[in-house]
């Protein structure tokens, strides 16, 4: 019988970050017995002190972890401190600036421009907890709208023109349009105006995470605004054909360059391509980065005497 791997998973409460670690843990649990303890990073604001002392505050848990992981800046020191105190493997899902040498393993997206190495695995985008959809994809086409960020500006009029070309250029129509927490209120109001027979608007505030997963796994195609990195990779992981809606960049950086990289890799298509061809090309093989990385993590656990 395989021994059980005990994982401490620190979370910062941000859905995009939490889905990264959830995806890795679920993939790990698929091929070896795994027990997960989820801990709020906010409960340990002085974790860097615990790391310096090599001790972890007692009373919170009964079992020592084999693997400690997290995603998001707030999780850096809790992961490092807990792993050091319990001689566990420390794993960070993202790029911890200046601190990579302190982690046993970092899973870093390719667009961050960090080279692979003994402590770094380069991933194709950010991990998530979506498997590839199976069977016929009979759901509506999804349109996922983000919003302005420190990387991207927002041109509402241009976005609505793109959306009109997509919706009114399609027959028969079978769409679900959804906003996000970053979508400006004026854009959300305009999106509601697209509702008609065959076109439904669903607010992110009322769409549960499970409903979102189900919709992605059943959608034959998904259109995503270029600012929405997590949603782009979730759609690619789910096996959808993915179209890209353009938004203006505030500057040239790793995030604003992601859309061009995905277009060059032929993983996504532009609206211009769709208008010229009348369809999205069939999707490439779904991304399965959580599954791939879970096998690498299992190998580390095995080498450390904790694995299968």
* pLDDT for the residue 302: 80
Please give the structure tokens belonging to residue 237: 């992981």
Q: Cα-flanking dihedrals φ and ψ of residue 212, to 5°?
A: -65, -45
Same CATH fold assignment for domains 5-129+289-303 and 141-277: yes
* CB contact set of 222 (below 8 Å; sequence gap of 6+): 141, 142, 143, 144, 216, 235, 238, 240, 241, 242, 243
Q: Which of 79, 92, 93, 76 is nearest to 127 (CA)?
A: 93
**For the chain, which residues make up each domain, given as ranges?**
5-129+289-303, 141-277
Q: Which phi and psi angles does 224 have, rounded to 5°?
A: -135, 140
* pLDDT tens digit sequence for 96-148: 988 999 999 999 998 888 999 999 999 988 898 887 767 678 899 999 999 99
Dihedral sign from CA coordinates of 74, 147, 109, 215? positive
CATH 3.40.50.2000 fits 141-277, yes or no: yes
CB 21 within 8 A of CB 9: yes
Report the mean per-residue pLDDT for the chain.
90
pLDDT at 286: 78
Compare 303 and 180 and report the one with higher pLDDT: 180
- Read off the pTM: 0.84
pLDDT at 259 over 60: yes
Residue 287: its pLDDT value, please?
82
* CATH number for domain 5-129+289-303, candidates 3.90.1150.10, 3.40.50.2000, 3.40.50.10490, 3.30.420.40: 3.40.50.2000
9-13, 53-57, 300-304 — which is least confidently predicted? 300-304
Phi, psi of 31 (to 5 degrees): -125, 5
């Amino acid at each position: 019988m395989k021994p059980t791997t005990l994982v401490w998973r620190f979370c910062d409460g941000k859905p995009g970050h939490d889905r990264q670690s959830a995806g890795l843990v679920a993939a790990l649990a698929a091929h070896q017995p795994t027990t997960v303890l989820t801990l709020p990073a906010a409960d340990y604001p002085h974790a860097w002190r615990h790391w310096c002392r090599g001790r972890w505050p007692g009373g919170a848990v009964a079992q020592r972890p084999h693997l400690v992981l997290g995603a998001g800046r707030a999780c850096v020191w809790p992961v490092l401190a807990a792993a050091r105190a319990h001689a566990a493997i420390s794993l960070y899902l993202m790029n911890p600036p200046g601190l990579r040498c302190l982690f046993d393993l970092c899973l870093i997206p390719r667009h961050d421009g960090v080279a692979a190495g003994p402590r770094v695995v380069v991933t194709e985008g950010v991990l998530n907890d979506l498997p590839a959809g199976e069977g016929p994809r009979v759901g509506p086409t999804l349109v996922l709208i983000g919003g302005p960020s420190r990387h991207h500006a927002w041109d509402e009029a241009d976005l609505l023109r793109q959306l009109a070309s997509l919706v009114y250029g399609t027959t028969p129509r079978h769409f679900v349009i959804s906003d996000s927490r970053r979508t400006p209120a004026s854009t959300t109001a305009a999106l509601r105006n697209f509702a008609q027979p065959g076109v439904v608007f669903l607010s992110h505030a009322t769409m549960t995470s499970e409903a979102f997963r189900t919709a992605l796994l059943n959608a034959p195609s998904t259109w995503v605004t270029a600012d929405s990195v997590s949603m782009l990779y979730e759609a690619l992981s789910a096996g959808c054909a993915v179209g890209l809606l353009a938004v203006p960049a505030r500057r040239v950086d790793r995030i604003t360059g992601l859309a061009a990289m995905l277009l060059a890799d032929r993983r996504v298509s532009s609206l211009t391509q769709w208008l010229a061809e009348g369809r999205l090309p069939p999707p490439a093989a779904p991304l399965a980065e959580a599954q791939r990385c879970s096998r690498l993590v299992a190998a580390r656990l095995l080498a450390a005497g904790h694995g299968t």
